[in-house]
Structure 1
Amino acid sequence: MKPIRLILIPTLTGQPAPFLIVAPDGGVLQRGVLTLDAVERPEPMRTVAICPGADVSVRWLDLPAGGAAQLRAAAAWRLRDELVATPDRVATVVGPPAGPGQPRPVAVASLALLQAWSDYLEALGLRADVLTPDMLTLAEPEADDVVLAVTFGENVALRGRRFAVTVQADLVDLVAGGRQVVAVEDAAAVERALAAAALSPLVNLLDAGVREGADVRRSWRRAAGLATAVLVSPLLLTAASAARDDMAARRLDAEAVAAIAAAAPDLAREADPVAALRRRADAAPPPGGVTAAAAALFLAIEAVEGAELDMLAAAPEAGVKATVSHPGYSDMEAITRRMAEAGMAVTETATLDDAGRVVSDISIGARP
């Protein structure tokens, strides 16, 4: 067996990509960083790419026996109510069970986002043989009440028993749902986990069975042009963190105050911590975060001829805001309708005429 290159795809398009060269025995032979402006191309070898897990939804499902295509179809059917994208716009892959009769891990991601990641790797001079989300690089803990946590960039990957998700750091305690969060901060331990994932990945998003010739390209260069500089694509899956948030919301009462105190100590000092949390949530990005909001808006604007995204911004206290220019006043109705179909509400905060075009300032939140 030959060495394997493991590369971490960054969240922001302009960032370099850290990599490891892993020996067949799991040892690390080389560490480094690849940049987009490098003149020398990387040496050809088997490459395992770790993608941002915040853009991938993972579930464990009991599925009937069958071949790879049958398992994907069965998993897609089971998850149909959790998707706000049609099945032909997402990639669904099924991993092996932990043992006989055990549930299988199922990962779902946007086809367009898979293409964007592939475009990014191509810009580095690489082609991935395996693409797997960052939270699945962690081994499943033995205890049911423990969740392992590793920080990747600005997000935190969480791994529990039949549970894997990547979320914003301030949502870790709520998403963990009362389980003990054990942070893996030792660099050597993280490297060992990454090396093990490179040698034996749990799922490969490239095994999605995409039909030949499917028009799923959303180039990395086009995505890089958005004002946020985030690697944006039409990922319309918001269930990864929302499901855990909903569970926490349903437990509100006495437990809510304790959870708020753990996740946001500043809110615990408010006279009504629950109301304070709700006010913060109203100003926060919609379910799925900035990436999901930008992706949904990108698709809605694409569907309106002549519409363009001029600006997209997000702030903790102000939520997600955008400026859209379009030919006519009725265009915003079409954009608002498509955003509502994606589970998001659009509020026009300002509208003006500019050289024969209409410019609308909007805010994006969760649909009531």
Structure 2
Amino acid sequence: MARTLLLWLPTQAALSGGGADAAWLRVDDGVIVDSGQDDGWVDAWEKPQDDEADDRLVALAPAADVPLRWRSYPDAAPAQAAAIARVDTLRDSLGDASLLHIVAGQPADAGQAVPVAVTTHAAMAAWTDWLQTQGLVPAAIIPAAATLPPPEPDSLWTAEFGREQILRSDDRSFVSDPELDPLIAAGRTIAPLDADRMREALLLSLSAPPLDLLSGAWQPKRNWAIDPAMMIWMKRLAVALLVVTLLIPILYAIRINADIARADEAAVATAKKAGVTASDAAAAEAELDRRLAAAGGGPLAFSVPASALYDAMRDTPGVALKTLSHRTDGTLSTTLAAPRTEDINAVLLALQAHGYKITAQPMAGTDGTQMATVTVRAVP
């Protein structure tokens, strides 16, 4: 159930004089269920169900301290009209502009009149302090003068609202004065506002406030509150994410080790078929390399590095082979000659590109050619 407490704020005169009783009214689901002119709002509001999310407090600022005026700008967009209304009202106001708190509502459509309320920062400070003293936090502070509906043409409304008598013309709303009201009316009829119509206008103002004094410098700071249940879920998700992050590399390492173990077993089984008995793949590979070297074959054989050397020389026709020898450890030794050092370097780079380890000792030939003594490791 949506519950709203409507509390009339004391006037500045009442606050300074020590009398701060406030009129109040309680609305449940759009129906006025209780009201009073004393501190009975405490019992009407402070109930266990007050903690429901739909419950709210709306304060009404007295017309004596917050008069209202409607300004029209037919050719301006709603946001532009509100901005212009604030500037015009500030220009027409008396006193120090820094002491004034001017709030303009924003019309729903272009061409509609803009409600503008004028009060002081001192009044706002007094009201917020009084509300804090009562332990109340209002959802909005609406000028009481803004809740009266516009009168009929060539007439004015007068209504007792809270503890004030308010006068409403077509473009102004302010506290009534018996001596000034006839002068302001200027021959127009001053009629009392029907109670039912006043009640409807009040409920409409609660559902769609024409303006809120809690704006600008007095706009409440938003307090971010995190749902405890959401915090628990966030912590659980964080822990799950951490566990998954750690498990991915662990599972990957386990899979790699399992693949390596299967490959080692296959290597040992293959070596066993070749007559090599070994405890692991490394021992089997070492034994196979030893037997191949003794037999002059395998990766340590002469043909392996020699074919790579011939392929590299084929791409560089200017390079000639002067000497060539091979050792049982797979090292190929050769002497290369070429008209230019760059040609020999091209051969060496080609061998390195195939993964061979190269050493080279440059020297000059007797006929002016460039030469280099080169060793090529047969095993990459």
- TM-score of the superposed pair, with normalisation by structure 2: 0.47
Higher helix share: 2
Q: State which structure, 1 or 2, has the greater radius of gyration over its C-alpha atoms.
A: 2
Q: Which has the higher contact order (CA 8 A, sep 6+)?
A: 1
